Chain A
Amino acid sequence: MIVLNGERSELRAGETLAQLLLGMGVDADGRGVAVAVDGEVVPHARWGSFVLEQDARVEVLTAMQGG
C-alpha cells in the first residue's frame, strides 16, 4: 500500500515515481511540481529510477495562489 497525498492509493510497491506521476497527469518535465517520499525530496532527475516501497508516504505538490 502506498499513501499518496494523504490517501491510500491503489498503487503497489515496486512501481516507480515516474509511473505514479504519469497516472496523476503530471507533465514529464515536472515543471512546478515537487515530490517528497517519507519527508525526503526526490529530485526530478530521480523520478524514473525511484522505486516506491511498501507503506511509502508520497506528497506531490504544485503551485497554488497564496501568501
Chain B
Amino acid sequence: MMEDALTIAGRRMRSRLLLGTGGFPSLELLGEAIAVSDCELVTVALRRVDATPARTGGSSLLDVLAEAGVQVLPNTAGCHTARDAVITARMAREAFATDWIKLEVIGDEDTLLPDAPELLRAAEQLIDEGFVVLPYTTDDPVLARRLADLGCAAVMPLGSPIGSGMGIRNPYNIALIREAVDVPVVLDAGIGTASDAALAMELGCDAVMAASAIARAQDPVAMARAMRAAVAAGRLARGAGRIPRRHYATASTPERGLPEFS
C-alpha cells in the first residue's frame, strides 16, 4: 500500500520529485542522483543520432535509466511549433514505447517561455492521438485550465525561466493554478535550491520537477538528496496547514501569571 501516492493518468507513484537528465556532468552522477532522489519519472530528449556523444546519449543513457528502474518521460524540448512538437512526440513514442510526453513548445529564445497558442494546438492534437500529455506551461491559471480542459494528464507551470534558478516568481499564480485544475500540478522550471521545491509543495503543487538545480549543483548527488527532503517537507507542511500571516506579534507565551516587580 502506497501512502500519499501521486497519481498521473492512472499511474501511482510514491515519489513527488521528477528529475530532468539534462546537464549532469556524467551518467554515473545521473545514476547516483536518481538513486538518492527516489524519483520514478525521468525526462529525456530526442536528438539526431550523429549528434549524440556516446557518453551522454543513446543506448547508454537508456541503460542507466533502465537499471534505475525509472519510467522515461520523453520531452519535445527545442520545438518551436505545434507541428514539430507533434512529430517529435510521435518519434518519442516509437523510440521509447511510451505514450507519455512532456510537451514543450518554446516561443522565445532568450527566456524559453512557452508559446501558448502553439502549445494548445499541439496538446489537442496529441491527446487526439492517445498521448498522455504533460505540458510545460506559463504560470497563467487560465492557460493551465484550458490545457486541463483539453484533457492533459497534468499541468507543469514554470516557477521562472528554465535553468534560471530564480525560484517561484509568482507564488500567487501557482496557488491559483492549483485551484483552477483538477489534474496534478507539477512545478517545472526555475527551481534553484531546496527551499524553492518546498515552497512549491506548500503552495499546493502535487510534485516538483528539477533538472538544472540538481544536475548543475556543485554536488549533484547531495542536491538530489536535499530536493527529496524538501519535497517531502513541503508536502507535509501543506497538509499540516500553516498559520496565517499577521502584521503584529501574537504572543506564544500566555500573559496569565506574569509577575509585577514594581
- Nearest-neighbour CB distance to chain B for A19, whole angstroms, equals 15
- The 8 A CB mask of A1-40 against B (1 = contact, 0 = none) is 0000110000000000000000010110011111110010
Residue of A nearest to B104 (CB): A67
Say yes or no: B91 contacts A64, CB within 8 Å: no
Q: Does B61 contact A (CB under 8 A)?
A: yes
Q: Mark A42-67, 1 if CB is under 8 A from B, else 0.
A: 01100000000000000111111111
Number of interface residues of B (CB under 8 A): 39
CA distance A4 to B240 in the complex (A): 56
Nearest A residue to B46, CB-CB? A61
Residues of B within 8 A of A62 (CB): 46-47, 49, 52, 57-59, 95
Interface of B is mostly: mixed
- Docked pose: A6 CA to B43 CA in angstroms: 25
A65→B23 contact, CB < 8 A: yes
Contacts of B45 in A (CB 8 A): 63-67
Looking at the assembled complex, report how far the CB atom of A56 sits from the nearest CB atom of chain B, in whole angstroms: 15
Are B96 and A32 interface neighbours, CB within 8 A?
Answer: yes
Task: Write out, one digit per residue, whether chain B residues 50-88 have a CB within 8 A of any chain A CB (1) or not (0).
Answer: 111000111101100000000011110100000100011
Contact of B20 among A26, A35, A61, A66 (CB under 8 A): A66
A-B pairs, 3 with minimum CB distance:
A66-B45, A67-B43, A34-B91
Interface residues of A, Cβ cutoff 8 Å to B: 5-6, 24, 26-27, 30-36, 39, 41, 43-44, 59-67
A–B pairs, 18, beta carbons within 8 Å:
A5-B49, A33-B95, A36-B87, A59-B48, A59-B91, A61-B48, A62-B46, A62-B49, A62-B58, A63-B44, A64-B46, A65-B21, A65-B44, A66-B21, A66-B44, A66-B47, A67-B22, A67-B102
- Chain B residues within CB distance 8 Å of chain A: 20-24, 30, 43-52, 56-59, 61-62, 72-75, 77, 83, 87-88, 90-92, 94-96, 102, 104, 211
